[in-house]
């Protein structure tokens, strides 16, 4: 599209539009500046209804008191128009936000949110603007969040003086590891005299030096419109947002001039060496716990092209086991893994590249340095492998292009991608216009020796480099503890009785204030009438290619094709179904079509954004039944459609399973399972309890739960001679699953790619296996209903009680969903987490599978927790229920049934829902009913489904905890066994 350039500057309100340009595949980029205050603003106008807002302030600290970090906490503790204790947390319960948070980095503090609801957007905008520009910054909040004195027993002035404070405690935990020591060493060694030499989060030894006055001054100087960078994104009117920002904030300020606190670091003439200790336990063997990193200051992060080039180089050198620098480091045998801080770090104004090893002897740092320098010399002389450069560029391109909301909403990923250029005076537009930088890179690369020259100019010939060693120090913790104690003892000696009495009085008052109920009526909220009732249609195009059904879901995927090959696995025998977890892994980690597994792995990396497989059990909406679907899925750039589908053909039609490779994969899976039992305890307890209710539950237990663990253990014990038989059985599974007549191909892609895909998929379908033995499928029976305890090597308990309820289309299902939100946020949060000390206490309604469970996560209790589950039901059926809390539970439930989805998820969900009966009409009916749920409904469903039913129970916990629980209540479990 041709752009006309106007010489008259356009304005919106008090803003001048400085630049307006289209961004390919994204929308329109608008850059503005507020005339009177100088506030900057970037807006991305696009179709996305997930609208985002962010404001950030450069907040470069000049010491390690943690002032910027503590300020972030205090800013979130109430403001002029919203004088409540914790407005952000309270808003999260009265909002449909898809993201809501605040973050402090080394030199800036940001406050981002996103939501798809227009009223929610303006509610959150009001709260964010008021919080950042007009916070109360009370002395109490400073003491609570930052630093204060308190006695060990807060009521007893003779019990010993202590430092207390949220950030003080947070940073003590955050700094006590080698990674944090490395971060500290990088800042100190490479950026002397600059803000980065300080610990921006706060060093517990310096945090007590910060005063409330300094904190308020820091706010006045930094949180000012003339130092503010705004960002908005989405389909809402920019004019409206700007008008609100002006009216609420900018109208109340005059322009300030800011001194540029960050300058470019003065380059060294000679490299330096720095050593930094980290605390280590004296009892352990610390002989090989050190790390060495060779690190350079390289290109400015504001220059998007130079940063891209360095990023590609960093990937080429270190990304995977075959990357030359990583390989040389590991092969040296000096250490066990790549050091913390390795790779390209762009959190600073100038990027830092580092490479090194962990698990080394403290005296081997120089040797690590020699390996790094020699390897770089060789690469600069002999040349970099171009196929590795291609793979690195492909990986970055995929990451940039994918419009995913996983982790962070895409709306904010765009912001993060432009932030360095925005903050450091670069060109944010070109940081977002990735294709142009990429084209430029391909051009200069074609001229030859580009990356070889980059290795010389940025690394080998660049003397601004440091050799950093972090080493275990067994006395460090004790030294710091003693220093803190000495400091406190000296202070305590100077305190008068009156001062001590005031510390006691203040501690008790702070505690009372924290526990006091507050009036949240001042905060804006969504009403149930603000909830959208319609779900959008997801269009599709269906066809048959030979006997296979193919469904296309056209979506704006930004040039990426997502493909599922879904096979019905109900026809497999029980023994074959048990092998599906192994089959899923072996299918994507073996050789095929004459290539070994390593060659297949590099094809996957070079042509796709990832390929994976899993067996899925999908609940039917209207009856007690389920669909068994084995899914092989992958994603690739549209231009790689052909090699991508050729790869899939090789996997489903020409898989070659080697007994030796199979043994490796089995061993690796079994080891990983055993070593992650602590993390899997909750999932295992839920699935086991569920398996006692239904065949569907029993199948899930065998595919992902304790049943699967037992299968994998059996396979790990197989002898050499039995492997051949296993290979044969896995191959049988493959031919049974991928029959053309029983597969569905689900493609989510750009409309324009459909024709190409049709041709390619026809080739895939022709290649599928056609001959297989017909077998009768078998469904597992529900397991014994007896309450069960499984001992595991964990110091905590995971307790689950599950009830059978009703499925999605039943009129009571919405009330059960609201009930679970209600119980989780009120009674269970208080009783299990706050009073019981569990990390989490949950109630969850399985609206698809017709179940409802109570669960506790990393819980120190068993008997008490089951009592709390009992009380929870009575608490609802017999207690008061506040209308406002029910409303918040309904809002939470609305977020559950209508989550933010990426384009690929939309297509895949629609494909599943059309077979399981979660039609658009059924979903809309469900939501209608959801909004009408009342307190009486909650009492009624709690009585009918929870109070009257016989629930199933499973606990996974440490053996001590289980035996103590059995002593206290002998009948609690009927089955007790190791996991």
Q: Summarize as ranges the residues that interact with Zn ion (CB under 5 A).
A: 170
By beta-carbon proximity to Zn ion, the closer residue of 140 and 170 is 170
CB of 175 to Zn ion, least distance (A): 13
- The owner of tokens 């919405």 is 814
CB of 488 to Zn ion, least distance (A): 23
CB of 202 to Zn ion, least distance (A): 9
CB of 104 to Zn ion, least distance (A): 7
CB of 834 to Zn ion, least distance (A): 20
By beta-carbon proximity to Zn ion, the closer residue of 140 and 812 is 140
By beta-carbon proximity to Zn ion, the closer residue of 109 and 241 is 109
Q: 666: left (phi > 0), else alpha (psi -120 to 50), else beta? A: alpha
By beta-carbon proximity to Zn ion, the closer residue of 169 and 642 is 169
By beta-carbon proximity to Zn ion, the closer residue of 170 and 859 is 170
By beta-carbon proximity to Zn ion, the closer residue of 207 and 816 is 207
CB of 57 to Zn ion, least distance (A): 16
By beta-carbon proximity to Zn ion, the closer residue of 208 and 234 is 208
Three-class secondary structure of residue 900 per DSSP: coil
CB of 403 to Zn ion, least distance (A): 30
By beta-carbon proximity to Zn ion, the closer residue of 170 and 402 is 170
Q: Tell me the C-alpha distance between 519 and 522, whole Å.
A: 7
CB of 102 to Zn ion, least distance (A): 9
For residue 837, give the nearest of 856, 855, 813, 812 by alpha carbon. 856
CB of 167 to Zn ion, least distance (A): 6
For residue 886, give the nearest of 819, 950, 838 by alpha carbon. 819
By beta-carbon proximity to Zn ion, the closer residue of 103 and 574 is 103
Question: Cβ-count burial of 516 within 10 angstroms (0-12 exposed, 13-18 middle, 19+ buried)?
Answer: exposed
Paired with 54 in beta bridges are 112, 231
Four-CA torsion 405, 410, 413, 417, nearest 10 degrees = 140
Residue nearest to Zn ion (CB): 170
Residue 652: what are its φ and ψ, rounded to 5°? -80, -25
Are the beta carbons of 184 and 199 closer than 8 angstroms?
yes
Pairing relationship of beta strands 272-279 and 465-473 according to DSSP bridges: parallel
By beta-carbon proximity to Zn ion, the closer residue of 74 and 890 is 74
For residue 675, give the nearest of 665, 664, 667, 686 by alpha carbon. 667
CB of 278 to Zn ion, least distance (A): 20
Are the beta carbons of 414 and 432 closer than 8 angstroms?
yes
- The owner of tokens 């006055």 is 213
- Compute CA distances 893 → 93, 465, 491, 830, 939, whole Å: 11, 53, 52, 20, 17
By beta-carbon proximity to Zn ion, the closer residue of 75 and 560 is 75
- String of DSSP letters for 65-115: S-HHHHHHHHHTS-BSS--SS-HHHHHHTS---SEE--EE-SSEEEEEEEE
CB of 69 to Zn ion, least distance (A): 6
By beta-carbon proximity to Zn ion, the closer residue of 71 and 747 is 71
CB of 185 to Zn ion, least distance (A): 22
Q: Tell me the C-alpha distance between 430 and 423, whole Å.
A: 14
Q: In what order do the strands lie in the sheet with 797-804?
A: 840-846, 851-859, 797-804, 952-957, 788-791, 975-978
Q: Tell me the C-alpha distance between 392 and 319, whole Å.
A: 8
Q: Please, what is the end-to-end C-alpha distance for the chain in angstroms?
A: 63
Q: Tell me the C-alpha distance between 531 and 661, whole Å.
A: 53
């Amino acid at each position: 599209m041709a752009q006309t350039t106007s010489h008259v500057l356009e304005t919106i309100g008090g803003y001048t539009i400085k630049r307006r340009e289209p961004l390919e595949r994204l929308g329109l980029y608008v850059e503005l500046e507020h005339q009177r205050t100088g506030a900057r603003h970037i807006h991305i106008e696009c179709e996305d209804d997930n609208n985002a807002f962010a404001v950030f302030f450069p907040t470069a600290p000049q010491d390690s008191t943690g002032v910027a970090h503590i300020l972030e906490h205090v800013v979130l503790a109430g403001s002029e128009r919203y004088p409540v204790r914790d407005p952000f947390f309270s808003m999260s319960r009265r909002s449909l936000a898809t993201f809501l948070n605040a973050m402090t980095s080394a030199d800036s503090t940001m406050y981002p949110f996103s939501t798809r609801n227009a009223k929610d957007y303006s509610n959150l905008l009001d709260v964010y603007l008021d919080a950042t520009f007009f916070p109360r910054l009370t002395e109490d909040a400073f003491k609570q969040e930052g630093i204060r004195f308190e006695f060990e027993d807060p009521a007893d002035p003779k019990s010993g003086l202590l430092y207390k404070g949220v950030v003080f405690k947070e940073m003590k935990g955050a700094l006590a590891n080698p990674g944090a020591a490395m971060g500290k060493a990088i800042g100190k060694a490479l950026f002397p005299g600059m803000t980065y030499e300080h610990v921006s989060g706060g060093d517990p030894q310096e945090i007590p030096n910060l005063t409330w006055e300094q904190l308020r001054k820091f706010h006045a100087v930094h949180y000012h419109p003339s130092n503010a960078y705004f960002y908005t994104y989405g389909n809402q009117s920019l004019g409206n947002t700007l008008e609100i920002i002006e009216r609420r904030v900018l109208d109340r300020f005059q322009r300030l001039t800011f001194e540029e606190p960050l300058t470019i670091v003065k380059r060294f003439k000679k490299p330096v060496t720095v050593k930094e200790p980290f605390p280590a336990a004296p009892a352990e063997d610390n002989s090989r716990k050190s790390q060495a990193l060779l690190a350079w200051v390289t290109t400015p992060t504001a220059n998007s092209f130079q940063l891209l080039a360095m990023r590609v180089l960093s990937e080429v050198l270190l990304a995977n086991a075959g990357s030359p620098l990583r390989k040389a480091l590991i092969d040296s045998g000096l250490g066990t893994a790549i050091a913390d801080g390795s790779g390209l770090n762009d959190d600073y104004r100038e990027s830092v590249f580092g490479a090194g090893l962990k698990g080394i002897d403290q005296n081997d740092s120089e040797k690590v340095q020699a390996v790094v320098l020699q390897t770089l010399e060789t690469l600069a002389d002999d040349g970099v492998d171009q196929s590795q450069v291609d793979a690195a560029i492909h990986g970055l391109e995929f990451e940039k292009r994918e419009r995913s909301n996983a982790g962070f909403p895409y709306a904010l990923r765009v912001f993060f991608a432009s932030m360095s250029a925005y903050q450091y005076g670069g060109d944010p537009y070109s940081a977002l216009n990735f294709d142009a930088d990429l084209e430029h890179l391909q051009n200069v690369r074609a001229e030859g020796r580009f990356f070889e020259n980059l290795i010389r100019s940025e690394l080998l010939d660049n003397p601004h480099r440091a050799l950093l060693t972090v080493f275990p120090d067994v006395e460090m913790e004790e030294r710091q503890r003693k220093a803190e104690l000495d400091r406190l003892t000296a202070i305590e000696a100077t305190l008068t009785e009156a001062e001590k009495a005031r510390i006691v009085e203040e501690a008790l008052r702070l505690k009372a204030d924290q526990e006091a109920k507050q009036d949240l009526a001042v905060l804006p909220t969504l009403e149930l009438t603000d909830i959208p009732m319609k779900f959008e249609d997801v269009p599709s195009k269906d066809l048959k290619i030979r006997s296979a059904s193919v469904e296309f879901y056209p979506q704006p995927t930004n040039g990426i094709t997502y493909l599922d090959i879904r096979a019905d696995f109900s026809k497999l025998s029980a023994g074959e179904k048990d092998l599906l977890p192994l089959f899923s892994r072996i299918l994507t980690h073996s050789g095929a079509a004459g290539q070994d597994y390593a060659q297949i792995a590099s094809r996957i990396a070079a042509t796709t954004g990832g390929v994976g497989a899993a067996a899925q059990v999908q609940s039917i909406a209207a009856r007690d039944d389920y669909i068994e679907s084995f899914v092989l899925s992958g994603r690739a750039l549209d231009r790689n459609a052909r090699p991508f589908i050729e790869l899939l053909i090789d996997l489903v039609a020409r898989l070659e399973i080697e007994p030796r490779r199979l043994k490796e994969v089995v061993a690796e899976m079994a080891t990983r399972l055993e070593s992650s039992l602590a993390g899997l305890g909750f999932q295992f307890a839920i699935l086991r309890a569920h398996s006692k209710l239904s065949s569907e539950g029993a199948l899930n237990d065998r595919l992902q739960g304790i049943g699967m663990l037992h299968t994998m253990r059996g396979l790990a014990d197989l002898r050499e001679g039995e492997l051949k038989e296993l290979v044969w059985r896995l191959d049988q599974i493959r031919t049974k699953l991928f029959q053309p007549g029983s597969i569905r191909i689900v493609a989510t892609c750009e409309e324009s790619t459909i024709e190409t895909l049709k041709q390619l998929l026809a080739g895939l379908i022709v290649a599928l296996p056609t001959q297989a033995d017909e077998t009768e499928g078998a469904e597992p029976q529900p397991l014994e209903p007896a309450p069960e305890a499984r001992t595991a090597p964990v110091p905590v308990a995971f307790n689950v009680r599950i009830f059978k309820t009703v499925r999605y289309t039943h009129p009571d299902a919405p009330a059960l969903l609201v009930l679970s939100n209600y119980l989780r946020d009120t009674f269970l949060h208080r009783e299990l987490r706050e009073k019981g000390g569990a990390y989490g206490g949950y109630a969850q309604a399985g609206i698809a599978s017709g179940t409802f469970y109570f669960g506790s996560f990393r819980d120190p209790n068993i008997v008490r927790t089951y009592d709390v589950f009992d009380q929870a039901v009575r608490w609802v059926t017999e207690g008061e229920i506040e209308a406002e809390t029910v409303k918040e539970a309904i809002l939470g439930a609305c977020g559950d049934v209508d989550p933010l989805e990426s384009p690929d998820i939309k297509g895949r969900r629609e494909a599943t829902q059309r077979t399981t009966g979660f039609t658009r009409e059924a979903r809309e009916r469900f939501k209608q009913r959801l909004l009408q749920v009342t307190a009486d409904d909650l009492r009624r469903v709690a009585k009918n489904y929870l109070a009257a039913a016989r629930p199933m129970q499973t606990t996974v916990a440490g053996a001590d905890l289980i035996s103590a629980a059995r002593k206290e209540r002998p009948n609690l479990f009927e089955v007790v066994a190791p996991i």
